[in-house]
């Protein structure tokens, strides 16, 4: 191998696990110690201030200026005692990451010294420079003003020596420029709609919470090898590289013993997570070599999403300490599984009821069926939009790749639950619903639901939206995604469906029908209407693709075209009616999606072109010249046969010629696409004429990797990237 590659591989082999300082005490002793949670609030705030803040957190009651000042004083004191010297409004712009601008607590006191200051005004609102964040045309570049405003529902926390205050980010004219604002709106929308429906069954319900449990998959690669792979450094994935002879085919990595060096990284990551209040629970090897997963306990969706964004940031920091690099790209390596971020989603009431869990009485089971059917119906009506919420230039490589959910949204319920719904849809009259002597209703087909679900919680891993006993698992979300995007669409669609459901039921009740009978009649029609979204078979099969078309599901696979779903009339109407997005906000966000897609494909094209022409072709030509010299010298000696060497030279020449031709074609296509001003058309051009060249170029490079002398091949190979510890 090349000298540089040899040094990097040798460095990777000889890396040892970085010692981790063992935390003092048990996790319960240090959990949340870097969070200004309720325990810290009680200690650093007076009772009146504490009660006012809790009221704001739970009920959205506005804070007075005096209360805000009192909170800021207590938060400042807590932060200073925990080593903080700066504060920042921590928000989630449309870049997909997080943003922060640090300000010092220290302020000149006018006497040659400084004082630590932090007022309620600084806590509640700031004015960061908004000029360089994606906005989709909502504001002009020369108009930099934007506002970040405190989200009291998500507690402040300390990273290193900075107090981080979770905030929303809006434009000067009030439009959302982040993920948190619409997520909070969608949470409020589903709360309002679900609470109204819950009161059919329990008048005591005052609030419904949206819960999220994410599962974060990721790869680890040695930092020294990552540093000599420009494609990994700049795009997050390998744009070339022949498969290793051994990859995941033996299935020996999945749930296997965690390597020592990786375990050291995981332990430090978990320690930091727990101190930041992230309730991490599960860790294990995933299917592919060097692939792992981390998952926490369920939390309220807003907090869970903040925690996932925070996790992705600290993962990177801690990985570097252990001489690793974290890869969150959905498909960093060809030929092995990619990474997702499964979003386990459910709804629960303030009375402690999981609305997607079966009950013990007919009424509880009718409530369960009501919410189950409304969710399925929402997914059916907006299956294209749900797909748009998880599509991206990076997740495009994973969806439909026969190791992840297909690019067609369907819902797995399991044969027994499906049978219950089919029985309800087919039943009629008094056989379906009746009342006993005490006027307590009975409903055929649902009394045995708890029993059947005990043995019906298996999951279909080819299903993008699977019911798993007491929740739905949205498996199509990408590992690098902000969970909020999928949760916004799901919450809003369900809220919209529940609102329509209640209107239909109320109309029947007003016409004189008993409540339970009215609910049954509406559910029956909904079950029949949303039947096309239910699919319990193999989502990877060609037969399903054909069947999905017949069922009228959205089967579009072009990412730029899928983004159109955000601007469909029914989408605009739904988001508008639920108060989650205005038309202007949706148009802007879709523009950002097209622009981001273009930029990511553009970067990949530039990196691939550079590697192909400045690394691969010269090395292949060098090896070709060595073979030509060998053939020439062999010709000087009688009796030597150089036919195999000549054939090899021809193969190298053919592959290098094709690389040069295809790279030139890709560059020309990129130049044409760059002249297109309208962003949607540009994204389509990049998809149709630029990205299609990538695999064609890669095919020839990977063939050369098999031919060219390993001693001069310039890039670390898959066997080196995936199997070193």
- Of the two residues 59 and 46, the one the predictor is more confident about is 46
Q: What is the rounded average pLDDT of the residues 683-706?
A: 98
- Determine the Cα–Cα distance for residues 197 and 519; give it in Å rounded to an integer: 10
Q: How far apart are CA 655 and CA 616, in angstroms?
A: 11
Q: What is the pLDDT of residue 144?
A: 55
- C-alpha–C-alpha distance, residues 219 and 324, integer Å: 10
Residue holding tokens 């507690």?
155
Q: What is the DSSP track for 627-654?
A: HHHHHHHHHTSTT---HHHHHHHHHHHH
**pLDDT of 367 strictly over 90:** yes
pLDDT digits (tens, 9 = 90+) for 659-680: 999 999 999 999 999 999 999 9
Q: What is the pLDDT of residue 60?
A: 86
- Residue 658 tokens read as 């094709």
Q: How confident is the model at residue 415 (pLDDT cuts 50, 70, 90)?
A: confident
178 secondary structure, DSSP code: B
| pLDDT, averaged across the chain | 90
Q: What is the DSSP string of 339-379?
A: -BEEEEEEEEETTS-BTTS--SSHHHHHHHHHHHHHHHHHH
User: What is the pairing mode between strands 411-412 and 465-467?
Assistant: parallel
pLDDT of 139 reads: 63
Neighbours of 706 (CB within 10 A): 8
Q: What is d(CA 585, CA 588) in angstroms, rounded to the nearest whole number?
A: 5
Q: Residue 341's closest CA among 320, 317, 311?
A: 311
Q: What pLDDT does residue 358 have? A: 86
pLDDT digits (tens, 9 = 90+) for 197-249: 999 999 999 999 999 999 999 999 999 999 999 999 999 999 999 999 888 88
Is residue 619 pLDDT above 50, yes or no?
yes
Question: Which residues, other chains included, contact 187 with Cβ-Cβ below 8 Å and sequence gap of 6+?
Answer: 210, 301, 302, 491
What is the pLDDT, as a whole number, of residue 461?
Answer: 73
Q: Report the range of poorest mean pLDDT among 154-168, 453-467, 489-503.
A: 453-467
Q: Is 534 helix (H, G, I), strand (E, B) or coil?
A: strand
- Three-state SS at 166: strand
Q: Is the pLDDT of residue 305 over 80?
A: yes
**Residue 395 per-residue DSSP state:** G
Q: Decide if 53 contacts 152 (C-beta within 8 A).
A: yes
Query: With b meaning 16 or more CB within 10 Å and e meaning fewer, what string describes 211-250?
Result: bbbbbbbbbbbbbbbbebbbbbeebbbbbbbbebeebbee
Span 248-279, pLDDT tens digits: 888 888 888 899 999 999 999 999 999 999 99
| Residues 158, 163, 167, 169, CA torsion sign | negative
Residues 515-563 have pLDDT tens digits of: 999 999 999 999 999 999 999 988 888 899 999 999 999 999 999 999 9
Q: For residues 385-409, give the mean pLDDT.
A: 89
Which pLDDT score is estimated for 68?
A: 94
CA distances from 271 to 94, 150, 487, 526 (A): 29, 27, 28, 47
Residue 125 — φ and ψ, nearest 5°?
Answer: -150, 145
Cα–Cα dist 581/639, whole Å: 80
**Burial per residue of 60-81, b for 16 or more beta-carbon CB atoms within 10 angstroms, e otherwise:** eeebeeebbbbbbbbbbbbbee
Q: What is the pLDDT of residue 454?
A: 45
Say what percent of the chain tops pLDDT 90.
75
Residue 704: what pLDDT? 98
Rounded to whole angstroms, the Cα distance separating 391 from 461 reads: 19
What six digits make up the tokens of 27?
């996790």
Question: How do residues 433-468 score in pLDDT, each as one tens digit?
Answer: 665 545 455 665 555 555 545 445 456 778 899 999
The distance from CA 273 to its chain's CA centroid, rounded to whole angstroms, is 18
* DSSP code at position 243: P
Phi then psi dihedrals of residue 87, to 5 deg: -135, 160
pLDDT category of residue 360 using cuts at 50, 70 and 90 = confident
**Stretch 645-672: mean pLDDT:** 97
pTM: 0.93
What is the DSSP code (8-state) at residue 139? S
d(CA 128, CA 149): 10
- d(C-alpha 475, C-alpha 461), whole Å: 8
């Amino acid at each position: 191998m090349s000298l540089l590659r040899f040094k990097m591989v040798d460095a990777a082999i000889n890396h040892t696990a970085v010692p981790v300082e063992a935390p003092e005490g048990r996790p319960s002793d240090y959990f949340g110690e870097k969070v200004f949670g309720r325990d810290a609030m009680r200690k650093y705030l007076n009772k009146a201030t504490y009660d006012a803040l809790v009221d704001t957190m739970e009920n959205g009651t506005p804070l007075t200026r005096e209360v805000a000042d009192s909170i800021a004083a207590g938060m400042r004191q807590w932060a200073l005692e925990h080593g903080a010297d700066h504060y920042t409004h921590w928000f989630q712009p449309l870049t997909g990451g997080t943003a922060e601008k640090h300000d010092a607590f220290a302020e000149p006191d006018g006497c040659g010294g400084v004082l630590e200051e932090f007022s309620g005004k600084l806590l509640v609102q700031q004015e960061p420079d908004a000029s360089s964040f994606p906005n989709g045309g909502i504001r002009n570049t020369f108009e930099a003003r934007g506002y970040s405003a405190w989200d009291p529902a998500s507690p402040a926390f300390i990273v290193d020596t900075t107090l981080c205050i979770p905030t929303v980010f809006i434009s000067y004219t009030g439009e959302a420029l982040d993920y948190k604002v619409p997520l909070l709106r969608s949470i409020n929308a589903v709360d309002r709609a679900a609470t109204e429906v819950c009161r059919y069954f329990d008048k005591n319900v005052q609030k419904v919470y949206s819960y999220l449990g994410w599962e974060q998959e990721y790869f680890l690669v040695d930092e020294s090898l990552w540093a000599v792979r420009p494609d990994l450094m700049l795009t997050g994935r390998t744009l070339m590289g022949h498969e290793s002879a051994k990859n995941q085919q033996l299935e020996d990595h999945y749930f296997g013993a965690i390597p020592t060096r990786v375990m050291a990284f995981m332990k430090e990551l978990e320690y930091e997570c727990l101190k930041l209040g992230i309730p991490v629970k599960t860790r294990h090897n995933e299917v592919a070599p060097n692939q792992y997963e981390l998952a926490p306990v369920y939390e309220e969706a807003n907090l869970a999403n903040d925690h996932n964004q925070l996790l992705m940031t600290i993962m990177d920091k801690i990985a570097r300490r252990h001489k690793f690099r974290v890869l969150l790209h959905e498909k960093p390596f060809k030929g092995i599984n990619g990474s997702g971020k499964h979003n386990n989603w459910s709804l629960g009431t303030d009375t402690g009821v999981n609305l997607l869990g079966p009950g013990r009485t007919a009424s509880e089971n009718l409530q369960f069926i009501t919410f189950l059917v409304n969710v399925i119906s929402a997914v059916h009506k907006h299956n294209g939009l749900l797909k748009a919420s998880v599509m991206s230039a990076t997740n495009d490589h994973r969806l439909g790749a026969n190791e992840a959910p297909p690019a067609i949204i369907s819902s797995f319920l399991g044969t027994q639950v499906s049978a219950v719904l089919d029985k309800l849809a087919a039943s009629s009259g008094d056989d379906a619903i009746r009342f006993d002597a005490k006027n307590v209703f009975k409903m055929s087909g649902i009394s045995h639901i708890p029993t059947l679900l005990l043995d019906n919680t298996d999951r279909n891993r080819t299903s993008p939206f699977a019911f798993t006993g007491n929740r739905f698992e949205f498996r199509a979300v990408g590992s690098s995604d902000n969970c909020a995007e999928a949760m916004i669409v799901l919450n809003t669609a369900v809220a919209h469906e529940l609102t329509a459901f209640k209107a239909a039921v109320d109309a029947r009740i007003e016409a004189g029908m008993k409540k339970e009978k009215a609910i049954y009649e509406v559910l029956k029609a909904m079950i029949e209407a949303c039947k096309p979204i239910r699919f319990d078979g193999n989502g990877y099969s060609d037969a399903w693709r054909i069947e999905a078309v017949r069922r009228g599901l959205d089967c579009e696979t072009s990412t730029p075209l899928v983004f159109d779903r955000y601007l469909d009339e029914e989408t605009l109407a739904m988001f508008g009616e639920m108060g989650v997005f205005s038309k202007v906000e949706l148009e802007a966000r879709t523009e950002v999606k097209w622009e981001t897609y273009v930029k990511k494909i553009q970067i990949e094209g530039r990196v691939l072109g550079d590697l192909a022409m400045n690394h691969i072709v010269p090395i292949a030509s060098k090896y070709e010249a060595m073979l030509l010299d060998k053939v020439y010298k062999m010709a000087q000696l009688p009796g030597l046969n150089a036919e195999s060497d000549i054939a090899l030279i021809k193969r190298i020449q053919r592959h290098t010629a094709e690389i040069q031709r295809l790279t030139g074609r890709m560059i020309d296509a990129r130049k044409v696409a760059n002249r297109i001003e309208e962003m949607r058309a540009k994204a389509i051009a990049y998809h149709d004429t630029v990205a299609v060249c990538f695999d064609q170029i890669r095919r020839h490079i990977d063939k050369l990797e098999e031919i060219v002398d390993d001693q001069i091949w310039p890039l670390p190979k898959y066997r080196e990237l995936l199997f070193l510890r």
